[in-house]
């Protein structure tokens, strides 16, 4: 009965939630310069912890490696991966610049061919199409998000350093938040569950994204699509954006084939194979690895993706799912907030496998 009363119409409660939501959005928007680097730093910190845990599981030793050594190895792995990503992009930037006029000419020829086939007197120009799509606004949004992210790299690194330095002290601080040992243990358990769930998500998502990128690279290289390495790198990063990222990762390389080749066959091959790869990894392999541990609604993921994309830009889209995981697990611990966890879940059960909710 208590849970049913939560969904009864109550004007005062509705107004209170409206005020809370408005204040939260205001803080998120106004505090974006501070909060986005901090959120990304927490993401990177959890990623480093996931790498460290994986290394401990893979090493054929009984005792785990020292924390400082695990952190050092994890940082080196991330640094090398970042360096290789930048190297791939910069090494092909000149070729990409040189190829753009060729693609524009081929695209114009493609439009003329379509106009002739459908009996149009004049094919639309590239400029007219771009004006209709408003591609400039999209590119400006992406460019601003990337520029802001790059300008915060040093701040993010500082945050990560402090998080690594104090991670051993965090459980002690959490326990000291309560005088009652039972409440302290409960709070520590909730924090551990949040960290474990996000760590599992980030770790599994990283492995699956790498596998998807490798398969996509092989497909693109075999077909002969230009800049296959850059597209594969893009596939890796876009896979962290639910649903929308997977669609873009399959459609954009396929569209390139329309202006690179004279035949439509490469387009059909690429869109079919890349789409099939995204479907298999996203709907078969990923659920098999992750199971229903996250138990997040697809509709709520899309809404979260849109909300965080508007509030925090591209970085918010990458952080949408981890933030949902944290919100679902946290809200499951309190009777008055359980309904949020239920709404975020797939089948109405709680996102968290937590014990009975807090009495307050």
DSSP 336: G
- Per-residue pLDDT tens over the stretch 60-70: 767 778 888 88
What is the predicted pLDDT for the residue at 351? 57
- Give the C-alpha separation, 250 to 19, whole Å: 41
**Residue 290: pLDDT over 70:** no
- Rounded to an integer, the average pLDDT of 252-267 is 85
- Give the C-alpha separation, 198 to 46, whole Å: 7
**Residue 353: pLDDT over 90:** no
- Per-residue pLDDT tens over the stretch 73-87: 989 998 898 888 888
- Please list, residue by residue across 78-107, b when 16 or more beta carbons sit within 10 angstroms of its beta carbon and e when fewer do: eeeeeeeeeeeeeebeeeeeebeeeeeebe
- Please list, residue by residue across 297-330, b when 16 or more beta carbons sit within 10 angstroms of its beta carbon and e when fewer do: beebbeebbebbbebbbbbbbbbbbbbbbbbbbb
**Residue 130: pLDDT over 50:** no
What is the predicted pLDDT for the residue at 128? 52
DSSP 118: T
- Rounded to an integer, the average pLDDT of 241-245 is 78
- Per-residue pLDDT tens over the stretch 135-177: 445 555 555 666 666 677 888 888 998 888 888 887 777 777 7
Model confidence at 257, in pLDDT bands (50, 70, 90)? confident
- Per-residue pLDDT tens over the stretch 185-233: 777 777 777 777 777 778 888 888 999 999 999 999 999 988 899 899 9
**Residue 289: pLDDT over 80:** no
User: Reduced to 3 states, what is the DSSP secondary structure of residue 11?
Assistant: helix
CB neighbour class for 54 (10 Å; exposed up to 12, middle 13-18, buried from 19): middle
What is the predicted pLDDT for the residue at 2? 45
- Per-residue pLDDT tens over the stretch 292-341: 556 778 788 888 888 988 888 878 888 888 888 788 877 877 777 888 88
Mean pLDDT rounded to a whole number for the chain:
78
- Give the C-alpha separation, 129 to 52, whole Å: 49
- Per-residue pLDDT tens over the stretch 4-43: 554 555 677 778 878 888 898 899 888 888 898 898 898 8
Which tokens belong to 108? 């114009």
Question: Which of 89-93, 181-185, 274-278 is most confident?
Answer: 274-278
- Give the C-alpha separation, 189 to 301, whole Å: 25
What is the predicted pLDDT for the residue at 146? 62
């Amino acid at each position: 009965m208590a849970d049913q009363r939560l969904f009864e119409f109550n004007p005062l409660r509705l107004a209170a939630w409206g005020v809370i939501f408005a204040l939260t959005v205001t803080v998120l928007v106004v505090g974006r310069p501070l909060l986005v680097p901090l959120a990304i730093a927490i993401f990177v910190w959890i990623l480093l912890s996931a790498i460290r845990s994986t290394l401990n599981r893979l090493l054929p030793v009984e005792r785990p490696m020292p924390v400082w050594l695990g952190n050092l190895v994890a940082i080196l792995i991330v640094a090398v991966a970042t360096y290789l990503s930048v190297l791939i992009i910069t090494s092909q930037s000149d070729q990409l610049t040189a190829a753009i006029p060729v693609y524009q000419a081929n695209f114009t020829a493609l439009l003329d061919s379509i106009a002739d086939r459908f009996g149009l007197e004049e094919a639309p120009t590239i400029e007219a199409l771009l004006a209709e799509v408003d591609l400039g606004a999209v590119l400006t949004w992406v460019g601003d998000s990337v520029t802001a992210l790059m300008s915060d790299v040093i701040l993010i690194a500082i945050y990560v350093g402090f998080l690594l330095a104090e991670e051993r002290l965090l459980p002690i601080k959490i326990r000291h938040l309560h005088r009652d040992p039972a409440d302290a243990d409960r709070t520590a358990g909730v924090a551990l569950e949040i960290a474990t769930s996000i760590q599992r998500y980030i770790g599994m998502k990283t492995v699956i994204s790498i596998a998807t990128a490798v398969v996509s690279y092989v497909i693109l290289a075999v077909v002969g699509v230009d800049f296959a390495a850059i597209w594969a790198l893009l596939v890796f990063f876009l896979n962290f954006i639910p649903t929308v990222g997977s669609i873009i990762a399959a459609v954009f390389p396929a569209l390139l084939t329309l202006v690179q080749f004279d035949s439509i066959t490469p387009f059909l091959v690429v869109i079919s194979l890349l789409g099939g790869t995204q479907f298999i990894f996203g709907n078969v392999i990923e659920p098999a690895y992750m199971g229903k541990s996250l138990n997040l609604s697809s509709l709520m993921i899309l809404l979260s993706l849109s909300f965080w994309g508007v509030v925090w830009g591209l970085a918010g889209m990458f952080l949408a799912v981890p933030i949902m995981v944290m919100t679902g697990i946290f809200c499951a611990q309190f009777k008055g907030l359980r309904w949020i966890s239920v709404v975020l879940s797939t089948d109405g059960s709680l996102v968290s496998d937590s014990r009975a909710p807090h009495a307050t």
